Amino acid sequence: MTDNRKPPADVFRYAPAPESRSIVDIKPSYGLFIGGEFVDGHGKSFKTISPSTEEVLAEVAEADDADVDAAVKAARRAYDRVWSKLPGRERAKYLYRIARIIQERSRELAVLESIDNGKPIKESRDVDIPIVAAHFFYYAGWADKLAYAMPQSAGRGTDPQPLGVAGQIIPWNFPLLMLAWKIAPALACGNTVVLKPAETTPLTALLFAEICQQADLPPGVVNIITGAGGTGQALVGHPGIDKVAFTGSTDVGKAIARTVAGTDKKVTLELGGKAANIVFDDAPLDQAVEGIVTGIFFNQGHVCCAGSRLLVQESIADELLAKLKRRMSTLRVGDPLDKNTDIGAINSAEQLARIRELSDIGEAEGAGRWSPECELPQHGFWFPPTLFTDVTQAHRIAREEIFGPVLSVLTFRTPAEAVEKANNTPYGLSAGVWTEKGSRILKIANQLRAGVVWANTFNKFDPTSPFGGYQESGYGREGGRHGLEAYLK
């Protein structure tokens, strides 16, 4: 894999290896999960489709203001009567139960996630769902140890208290994983939740609701309401919630910050990014290429911390790009349920339009566009892995989050220039550094204004590791001991 020749086409010809769909049972329609039961919503319903085939998967209720109110009231009742009175060690056991059920039903969850979201089964199976289970395991263990979680002098004393009802809104790129990031710490700390999954990916959250029932979680501790932006706004603005946790776009994050201004609602925001992935001339190039590919093509580039700006030292730019193009030529785009698929479907027609628009702008502004030859399926939403060369900092594709499999390549000469370019963004979620020199890693990592820095690796996640941004990438941390702080007072 170290030479730059194009591989013979037949080397990478694979027979189809589809994962069976028979393990999932998608119902024709779903209600809202409020107070431990599925109930009909008062609003309209909407369809959720498979982005890889455009087939309608199910009808899902769109929660209106009255539904949001009912969900918040159910969460408040559960908080007042049950959950806030339950000792931490008992809350822990519910969370452990949930974690175990997620492991037991992991394949079902993975297949359903890939069908509804479009991501490759190897990612939902090997990354998303295992980390979901791990997240519940991790925070389960905190539930009866909160007195040890924070410094005593932090004003919370030895008996930190939950906030109450948390309103949580999550995106479509990692539907069940984002649910776990939100629900596990909230429940461990003694809060109850109303969670709204993304409009295009509600199905695994609704299956999670069933898992809550299987675990005999007290009714109302977890409420799942489906809907679009209006439902989210009603939730954020509801006077009955004590906390807003949001993952999504920076624009919506700012709107939420304005909505909660002047209230006592605590807020954590996990927003957009435009991460720099910096490759120095002494980097192990083959590893760096793998890291660049993981950084931008993992999950179709639908990743807020994606390494969407490659900053490569000028002296190795040609060599690196040749290797990168060769590697990109081996990426397999197609059926998310095929076990050999590397890049699945773009999540929605809307997102595909956005990726196309920004890519066309990149071309119009003078950057060089390149994609490997690849055959895209006839139906569904697809975009080939793409890179742009000769990108400058003024180009929109270097400034705006594309949220797709599109890499902008910029060059630099000195470490100082690399840092300056990396930090030249209103975002600050993540960054990557590739070099064999340890002292340089530590220096550069120190200077990067980003919440997560991956050195000689990229896009790694773990429940024990805090995640969150600087600047306009939002505030607060999720994961680790730091993640508890968002749900305690």
Partner 1 sequence: MSDRIDVRKTYKLYIGGAFPRSESAYSYEVKDNKGKFVANAALASRKDARDAVGAARKAFGPWAGRTAYNRAQIVYRIAEVMEDRRPQFVQAVVKSEGLTASKAEKVVDAAIDRLVWYAGWADKITQVVGNANPVAGPYFNLSTPEPTGVVAVLAPQESSLLGLVSVVAPVIVTGNTVVVVSSYERPLPAVNFAEVLATSDVPGGVVNILTGSAATVAPWLASHMDVNAIDLVGVAGDHGLATDLEVAAADNLKRVRRAPVAEPDWAVDPGLDAMTAFLETKTVWHPIGV
Residues forming the active site: 270, 304
**Is the Cβ of residue 308 or residue 459 nearer to partner 1 in the bound state?**
459
Beta strands in 264-328 (DSSP E): 266-270, 276-279, 309-313
Which of positions 154-183 make contact with partner 1 (CB under 8 A)?
Answer: 154-155
Residue 231 parent element (H or E): helix 229-237
In the complex, minimum distance from the CB of residue 146 to partner 1, in angstroms, rounded to a whole number: 16
Residue 245 parent element (H or E): strand 243-247
Which of positions 236-255 make contact with partner 1 (CB under 8 A)?
Answer: 250, 253-255
Could you give the angle at which helices 88-104 and 129-142 cross, rounded to 10 degrees?
Answer: 170
**Is the Cβ of residue 84 or residue 471 nearer to partner 1 in the bound state?**
471
| Closest alpha carbon to 111 in 338, 265, 329, 315 | 338
Q: Which stretch binds partner 1 (CB under 8 A): 6-14, 103-111, 292-300, 467-475?
A: 467-475
Q: Which of 84, 213, 330, 465 binds partner 1 (CB under 8 A)?
A: 465
Interface with partner 1 (CB under 8 A), residue total: 42
**Is the Cβ of residue 331 or residue 445 nearer to partner 1 in the bound state?**
445
In the complex, minimum distance from the CB of residue 166 to partner 1, in angstroms, rounded to a whole number: 18
Strand partners, 467: 478
Q: Which of 480, 486, 487, 488 binds partner 1 (CB under 8 A)?
A: 480
In the complex, minimum distance from the CB of residue 271 to partner 1, in angstroms, rounded to a whole number: 8
Q: What is the DSSP letter of 333?
A: B
**Is the Cβ of residue 241 or residue 345 nearer to partner 1 in the bound state?**
241
**Is the Cβ of residue 88 or residue 466 nearer to partner 1 in the bound state?**
466
In the complex, minimum distance from the CB of residue 425 to partner 1, in angstroms, rounded to a whole number: 12
Q: What phi and psi values does residue 138 have, to the nearest 5 degrees?
A: -60, -50
In the complex, minimum distance from the CB of residue 452 to partner 1, in angstroms, rounded to a whole number: 5
| Closest alpha carbon to 276 in 478, 477, 471, 458 | 458
Site track for partner 1 across 261-300, x = CB under 8 A: xx------x-x-----------------------------
Maximum Cα interatomic distance, the chain, rounded to a whole number of Å = 67
Site track for partner 1 across 431-460, x = CB under 8 A: ----------x---x----xxxxxxxx--x
Residue 1 contacts by C-beta under 8 Å, 6 or more apart in sequence? 286
Q: Which stretch binds partner 1 (CB under 8 A): 160-168, 322-330, 394-402, 478-486?
A: 478-486
Residue 49 parent element (H or E): strand 45-49
Q: Say which amino acid occupies 102.
A: I
CA distance 271 to 102: 27
Cβ–Cβ under 8 Å, residues 334 and 370: no
**Is the Cβ of residue 264 or residue 373 nearer to partner 1 in the bound state?**
264
CA distance 298 to 341: 11
Q: Which of 2, 20, 22, 153 binds partner 1 (CB under 8 A)?
A: 153
Q: What phi and psi values does residue 379 have, to the nearest 5 degrees?
A: -105, 160
In the complex, minimum distance from the CB of residue 430 to partner 1, in angstroms, rounded to a whole number: 9
Q: Which stretch binds partner 1 (CB under 8 A): 4-12, 104-112, 223-231, 476-484?
A: 476-484
In the complex, minimum distance from the CB of residue 138 to partner 1, in angstroms, rounded to a whole number: 9
In the complex, minimum distance from the CB of residue 352 to partner 1, in angstroms, rounded to a whole number: 28
Q: Which of 29, 214, 392, 464 binds partner 1 (CB under 8 A)?
A: 464
- Tokens 């199910």 map to which residue? 58
**Is the Cβ of residue 70 or residue 134 nearer to partner 1 in the bound state?**
134
Q: Which of 151, 158, 239, 439 binds partner 1 (CB under 8 A)?
A: 151
Q: Which of 475, 486, 487, 488 binds partner 1 (CB under 8 A)?
A: 475
Residue 97 parent element (H or E): helix 88-104
Q: Which of 239, 258, 378, 439 binds partner 1 (CB under 8 A)?
A: 258
3-state secondary structure 422-442: HHCCCCCCEEEEECCCHHHHH
Q: Which of 246, 345, 472, 487 binds partner 1 (CB under 8 A)?
A: 472
**Is the Cβ of residue 120 or residue 253 nearer to partner 1 in the bound state?**
253
Which of positions 43-82 make contact with partner 1 (CB under 8 A)?
Answer: none
CA distance 4 to 7: 9
Which of positions 416-435 make contact with partner 1 (CB under 8 A)?
Answer: 426
Strand partners, 434: 279
- Our finding on whether 103 is near partner 1 (CB under 8 A) is no
Sequential DSSP letters for 160-214? --B-SEEEEE--SSSHHHHHHHHHHHHHHTT-EEEEE--TT--HHHHHHHHHHHH
| Closest alpha carbon to 121 in 135, 109, 136, 133 | 109
CA angle 440, 299, 109 (to 5 degrees): 125
Sign of torsion over alpha carbons 461, 463, 464, 467: positive
Residues of this chain that interact with partner 1 (CB under 8 A) are 134, 151, 153-155, 250, 253-255, 257-258, 261-262, 269, 271, 426, 441, 445, 450-457, 460, 462, 464-468, 470-472, 474-475, 477, 480-482
